Structure 1
Amino acid sequence: MTLTLNSLLAALAGLAAVGGLVVAVAGGVGWAPSTMVRRRSRLERKVRSFFVKDARTPTSWWARGQTRLVGSALAGLGVWLFTGWLAGGLVTVAVVIGLPWLLNTSGSGKGQIDKLEAVEEWVRRMSDIHTVGVSLEATIQRSLETVPKAIREEVRLLVSRQQAGWVPQDAYRAFADDLNDAVVDEVAALLILHVEDRGSGLSKAMRALAEALQHEVLARREVEADRQKPRTNDRWVTIFCLGIFGVTAFSGTYVEPYDTFAGQVVLVFVGVAFVLVKIWMRRMAIIEPAPRFLSSADRSGGRTAEETP
């Protein structure tokens, strides 16, 4: 049997279809990869260090701006020269440039949870630092040495505002604005109430608030884990669709109708429709955050502690 391009493409398309069915069945039965931490081999670490810019961040080589632009231009030019489709080349450029957005379905929920967990740890540490005779402002300044990395910049800004003479209430409201979370408003409200009534028991109240924050973090992580399953399925469906589009683009007579001007318009329409469906799916997965109850801080810069009546 002679191996032709069409037979090879048909075989690849069949393998892709079978792989898509396997992924669909696995997602339907609720399969998820093991969460056990596996130690990477030396070869795997070397390969990962080549593709990953920084081991501490998940930014891979194809997610870097310059590399992605060059790769998209080369891929679009190759598709245009091989198929003769100008619209196909433009769609390829758009797909390669937007590949991180197409495959990144995690959203911003995990980052917000990490910040909330850092706030819980920060409040717990302040409850240990704060003792009788130590002011709240001094406690916050001392906590800057051990503040978690996720909120280090926000706490540093809070300390800077205190040292600049901001009204404490405005400084705490600005801290809540920076983190923009209804649960963080509870932390800022506790600090504001202590400023207005310098009573005892702040450390005990902070420990109780830290416990409540811990339960909130656990609840949000459970919700985020449930939302991650359809996101993973969405990512695999996207990969499957892009693979099928790429294989059929080089299938010869099957895609001859796209050689006409009307076919090129249809091709662009299909690409735009695919992006719109992705946007629609992401909007469906967005959960509106709980409304905040603290008003925004006065950032006019003219209100300091000495000028407050």
Structure 2
Amino acid sequence: MSARLLLVLLLGAGFGGGAWLLHSGLRPAEPPADRPEGRLVALWRAHRPARPGRRVAVTAAVTLLMLVVTGWPVAGPLTAAAAWWLPKVLGRDKEHEKAVARIEAIATWTEQLRDTLAAAAGLEQALLATTATAPLPVRPKVAACAEAIRRGQRLPDALRQLQADLADPLGDLVVIALLGAAGRQSGRLADLLAGLAGSAREQALMRARTATSRARIRTSVRIVVATTLGMALALIVLNRSYLQPFDTATGQLVLLVIAGLFALAFTWLRRIATFTEPARVLAGAGTEAAA
């Protein structure tokens, strides 16, 4: 098969794929029907390896393929690093999503405590009552605190363990308020919890807005990376002679320098996209003093 014929086939496949995507985007979406999975899909779901194993397998396969296709010694480590880190850098920021979900869960649980205390319930009773209704991200930690109280553990000790389990600056503030109410009667505890819940909502909203603005940067970077990698693969397949200077030792060194610049750019991107957590109020030795 000549290079011109292969180029025509690729262009035809690209045009057909673009037309299909355009048709799918303009067609109104229909609710998916509940169809049974095929036998192959069910077999894959039953026997697929765990996620880290899949990442290792995909990385090894892509690395071996690039070594065979290019024959470059540096293609192995560069491909392995790209296959391992690029999905994490350019994909969804799961850590940010977990942090936002944790903040919203603490806010909701704080509001539940406020409402339960407003019904003339004691602090221990309020903690026990919110165990079953606490949001999922914090429910196991609240349940562990309630179980410690049922076993007869002192309320301040159970609250300090809850603070350690939550491991969140907002959780520290909530625990400080609860520790203060556990040592003496506090008629303003409900108002304080309401204020903390409101602050948590504002912080979650601020993080969501920040993530939206950073998503544009991630999209631009994805386009640049996809275009660069696509051009490199097209040159390897269609015009291998154009890349012959990289077959020399000097070319391999230049390739390493280019990869280093890309890695530095992705490191900066990752640092920009990382949200700096506020300082913990209760942490380590400070827990006893604050309590």
Distance 1:222 1:46, change over 3 A: farther
Q: 1:263 aligns with which of 234, 237, 251?
A: 251
Is residue 106–residue 228 contact of structure 1 (8 Å, CA) maintained in 2?
no
* Post-superposition offset of 1:121: 1.0
| Partner residue in 2 for 1:68 | 55
Structure 1 segment 121-200 matched on structure 2, within 5 A: 121-130=108-117, 134-163=121-150, 167-200=154-187
1:291 paired with 2:269, answer no
Q: 1:97 aligns with which of 77, 84, 104?
A: 84
Letter aligned with residue 252 of structure 1: R
| Partner residue in 1 for 2:204 | 217
Letter aligned with residue 124 of structure 2: E
1:41 paired with 2:32, answer yes
Is residue 123–residue 210 contact of structure 1 (8 Å, CA) maintained in 2?
yes
* Post-superposition offset of 1:70: 2.8
Unaligned 5+ segments in structure 2 are: 15-24
Give the whole-Å Cα distance in 1 for the aligned partners of 2:231 and 2:201.
45
Give the whole-Å Cα distance in 1 for the aligned partners of 2:49 and 2:235.
24
Q: 1:275 aligns with which of 259, 263, 277?
A: 263
Give the whole-Å Cα distance in 2 for the aligned partners of 1:272 and 1:11.
34
Letter aligned with residue 116 of structure 1: I
* Post-superposition offset of 1:224: 2.6
Is residue 114–residue 150 contact of structure 1 (8 Å, CA) maintained in 2?
yes
SS in 1 for 2:74: helix
| Partner residue in 1 for 2:70 | 83
User: Comparing both chains, which one has the higher relative contact order based on Cα–Cα distances under 8 Å and sequence gaps of 6 or more?
Assistant: 1
Q: 1:118 aligns with which of 105, 108, 118?
A: 105
Give the whole-Å Cα distance in 1 for the aligned partners of 2:41 and 2:283.
47
Instruction: Provide, for residues 272-296 of structure 1, a one-character-per-residue CA deviation record: whole Å limited to 9, x for no partner.
Output: 4322321122112334222233343
Aligned residue pair count: 271
Give the whole-Å Cα distance in 2 for the aligned partners of 1:291 and 1:174.
19
Larger mean Cα displacement after TM superposition, 201-210 or 144-153: 201-210
Larger mean Cα displacement after TM superposition, 92-101 or 115-124: 92-101
TM-score by length of 1: 0.70
Normalized per residue, the structure richer in helix is: 2
| Partner residue in 1 for 2:20 | none
* Post-superposition offset of 1:108: 2.4
* Post-superposition offset of 1:78: 2.6
SS in 2 for 1:257: helix
Over the residues paired in the alignment, what is the CA RMSD in angstroms?
A: 3.9
Is residue 156–residue 179 contact of structure 2 (8 Å, CA) maintained in 1?
yes
| Partner residue in 1 for 2:22 | none
TM-score by length of 2: 0.74
